[in-house]
Amino acid sequence: MVKLSCTVLLLLFFGSLWAQTSFQETRIEPLVETSFYPEAAVIKDKKEARQYALEWLNSRNDFTENKGSIQLISERSTNHSVHYRFELMVNNKPIYGAQIKVSTSLEGNLISVMASNHKYKNISDLDGEYDLYYLSNDNLIPVNAIETKTNNGLTNNIKLVSESSDTLVKDDLNYYKSDTTATVRVFYPEPITSAKTTYGIPYNDRGDSINPQLQAEHFTKTMPLIFRDDTFRLESDYFKMNEHSLPIEKIWTGTSDQINYNRSDTFFEQINVFYHLSRFRTHMDSLGYKSLGKHQINIDAHGFAGADASAYSANFSPPRLTFGQGGVDDAEDPGIIIHEYTHALTDHAAPNSNLGFQRNAIDEGISDYIAASYLREISEYRYDELFKWDGHNEFWLGRKINFNQKYPQDTTGTSHKAGGILNTILMKLNSEIGRDNADKLAFEIMYDFIPLLTYPDLADIIVNAEKQLFNEKYKKEVCDVLWNHGLKDACYIGIKENEVPKELLVFNSARFAQGTGSVEIVLPSSKQYPFQVLNSSGSVVGNGNSKNGIIAFTPGTFNSGIFFVRVLEGNYSVVRLVVL
């Protein structure tokens, strides 16, 4: 069995900001460790997963001898894998942001182990009651958690306070920005895209008013509704319209399955939200992800007291989606709607894991991608621009897919900006392997999210998910995209740890450099080996297959510079070529 293990120590943000508003985040130095295919092991159930997790932790930190224990917080299954997630505890108190996740195939074969904040040296024991431990510089400090939330959801924070009343961490807990069928009027997807125009008169908000141009962008669609007590209701197994945030407004119910409102009517946004979420769930379910996010969420289409903000909030029962009314009503833009719902999906797949700056960015990036993928399926018009109706106007700038973003240089700024790396990677795969396959990849990797996850960790997860889903059918496409965006080590999964790469014989490289002869790279057999050629910046500039065990290049194949030839099968050294 092959093995790849990497330990990454990075300075990250500890906290979660999933909104259109700013929030103070707190920096710490976390530890994340990932191990793919660590050994040949069979894990049949959560009991065996727990035992394996403890053995893994003990091999690194004498975990149980240091008063450690673990508690199962979720067990999630996809069509291809099972994921057991445990919270780490000391003295029966949780460690903030500390988890271990054990993943197996459906047959029980071990795929990966991932852990965060699991290594510590000292424990500060204090008399008295406290809620949990906070890891700082290898020390576990007892702290109390103070949660502050208002019923309308505008304030939803947690603070970790030490015995000396110092606030060590302050996090925002919000994830920001069918019995019968009814006929409804909705935006499809929104006026800017359907009219193929730009924001501005007459295609502007105008305080929820209607005009002939906007009226023409209402489309007749069908969607499932609950019919109970002789009344149609905006409710399904997944969603329920609710009133939980100011302003207080009536929830739509009716006795007719013909629902005809326009954007000037209060009920329009409720219908619009419910339609697009229901349509998106149909797509998800068709891909085999019915169990992902299979719980009912309360939705308020007019919330946050008129503020221009939207959020998913996990720490209410049931969880909430709230859409603000500032500027263009957020519930009129399906980009916002699907983005916020994707936060709910990642929270269900990987509970309590959105801690750390790059982890926050990954959540924003995958939420932007899922929203963009949904919109692109409806229309290709300016699909690289997100929130064309709610944003890209006087209210806020919206976001664009920046196809040039790379790791690590583009992980600065806000988590929304840094999330563009993942959004770009997935959208390029959407173009190359198709929407359904790229979306499956996105849904599958959610289960592997863990606190303090970094982009290099994520690249390994993407490669592994492609293998589980497609048996490496799209490995080349995935590797090309990852390499082009700075994640250059991910495609070495499958190389045994500490195994020295085998050298390849290279003939005539000096004459090739001078442009006077061909270069030949000799492989150990005559089978076809796929290869890539990369330039000095890591971008893929060529690819192909060996012929009769040889990769050959003639003079003039490349311009002057340094190039690298990478064989995609087996463990072989990268060949460096110079062209003068």
Residue environment code for 278-302, b if the CB has 16+ CB neighbours within 10 A, otherwise e: bbbbebbeebebeebbeeebbbbbb
pTM summary value: 0.73
For the chain, what are the domain ranges? Answer: 32-172, 179-349, 357-485, 505-579
Residues 6 or more apart whose Cβ sits within 8 Å of residue 541: 533, 534, 535, 558, 563
Exposed, middle or buried, 187 (CB in 10 Å: 0-12/13-18/19+)? Answer: buried
Average pLDDT, integer, range 37-47: 88
Burial class (CB in 10 A: 0-12, 13-18, 19+), 446: buried
Of 1.10.3720.10, 1.10.390.10, 2.70.160.11, 1.10.10.10, which CATH number belongs to 357-485? 1.10.390.10
* Confidence band, pLDDT 50/70/90 cuts, at residue 570: confident
At 4, is the pLDDT very low, low, confident or very high (cuts 50, 70, 90)? very low
Mean pLDDT computed over 257-283: 96
- Could you say which architecture CATH assigns to the domain 505-579? Sandwich (2.60)
Tokens describing residue 564: 């690298």
Confidence of residue 490 (pLDDT cuts 50, 70, 90): low
Strands (E) located in 459-513: 505-507
Rounded to an integer, the average pLDDT of 36-65 is 88
Tell me the pLDDT band of 538, cut-offs 50, 70 and 90.
low
14, pLDDT greater than 90: no
Give the integer Cα–Cα distance in Å for 82 and 211: 52
pLDDT above 60: residue 98: yes
Q: Which residues pair with 99 in a beta bridge?
A: 87, 116
Q: What is the DSSP letter of 569?
A: S
Cα 554 from chain centre: 43
Specify the range with the lowest mean pLDDT, choosing from 418-427, 520-529, 562-571: 562-571
Contact in structure between 36 and 112 (CB atoms under 8 Å): yes
Q: Are 18 and 354 in contact (CB under 8 A)?
A: yes
Distance set, CA 428 to CA 278, 402, 444, 474, 556 (Å) = 26, 11, 17, 13, 30
The predicted model gives 176-205 an average pLDDT of: 89
Rounded mean pLDDT of 5-34? 39
Which candidate, 210, 90, 216, places its Cα nearest to that of 141? 90
Q: H/E/C letters for each residue in 143-193?
A: EEEEEEECCCCCCEEEEEECCCCCEEEEEECEEECCCEEEEEEEECCCHHH
Residue 577, both tokens? 């070529």
Alpha-carbon span 209 to 270, nearest angstrom:
16
Question: What is the residue type of 390?
Answer: D
**C-alpha span between 577 and 541 (Å, rounded):** 13
For residue 102, count other CB atoms closer than 10 A to its CB: 25
Mean pLDDT over 112-141 rounds to: 78
Residue position matching structure tokens 């919000």: 174
Q: Residue 1 burial by CB count (10 A; 0-12/13-18/19+): exposed, middle or buried?
A: exposed
Whether pLDDT at 366 is above 90: yes
Pairing, β 320-324 against β 156-161 = unpaired
Distance CA 218, CA 288 (A): 31
Residue owning tokens 């329009």 = 268
Give 127-168 pLDDT, tens digit per residue: 567 888 888 777 888 888 887 766 656 567 778 777 766 666
∠ CA 488-37-55, rounded to 5°: 125
Is the pLDDT at 537 greater than 80? The verdict is no
**pLDDT tens for each residue of 473-487:** 999 999 999 999 999
319 CB contacts (<8 Å, ≥6 apart)? Answer: 295, 297, 298, 312, 313, 344, 347
Q: What's the order of all strands across the beta sheet hosting 239-241?
A: 174-176, 310-313, 320-324, 297-303, 239-241
Q: Which residues pair with 133 in a beta bridge?
A: 95, 142
Pick the CATH number of 179-349 from 3.10.170.10, 3.90.78.10, 2.40.50.180, 3.20.20.70: 3.10.170.10
Q: What is the pLDDT of residue 306?
A: 84
> ω into residue 456 within 30 of 0, thus cis?
no
Integer angstrom CA distances of residue 93 from 16, 56, 69, 132:
22, 20, 9, 5
SS3 content of the chain, % helix, strand, coil (to 5): 25, 30, 40
Q: What is the pLDDT of residue 556?
A: 86
Q: Is residue 236's pLDDT more than 90?
A: yes
Supply the pLDDT for residue 36.
83
Residue 5 has pLDDT above 60, yes or no: no
Q: What is the pLDDT of residue 497?
A: 39
| pLDDT at 313 (0 to 100) | 93
SS3 assignment, position 276: helix
Supply the DSSP string of 450-469, one letter for each residue. Answer: -TT--HHHHHHHHHHHHHHH
The mean pLDDT value of the chain amounts to 85
8 Å CB contact between 69 and 89:
yes
Contact call for residues 32 and 454 (beta carbons, < 8 A): yes
φ and ψ at residue 428, rounded to 5 degrees: -65, -40
Euclidean distance between CA atoms 5 and 543, whole angstroms: 28
CB atoms within 10 A of CB 11: 10
On the question of pLDDT at 284 being above 60, the answer is yes
Q: What is the pLDDT of residues 454-469, one digit of tens each?
A: 999 999 999 999 999 9
For 303-328, what is the mean pLDDT? Answer: 91
Q: Is the pLDDT of residue 317 over 60?
A: yes
Q: Which of 193, 154, 194, 152 is nearest to 398 (CA)?
A: 193
The answer to whether residue 215 scores a pLDDT higher than 90 is yes
Average pLDDT (243-249) is: 93
Q: What is the DSSP letter of 244?
A: -
Q: Per-residue pLDDT averaged across 70-98, rounded? A: 92
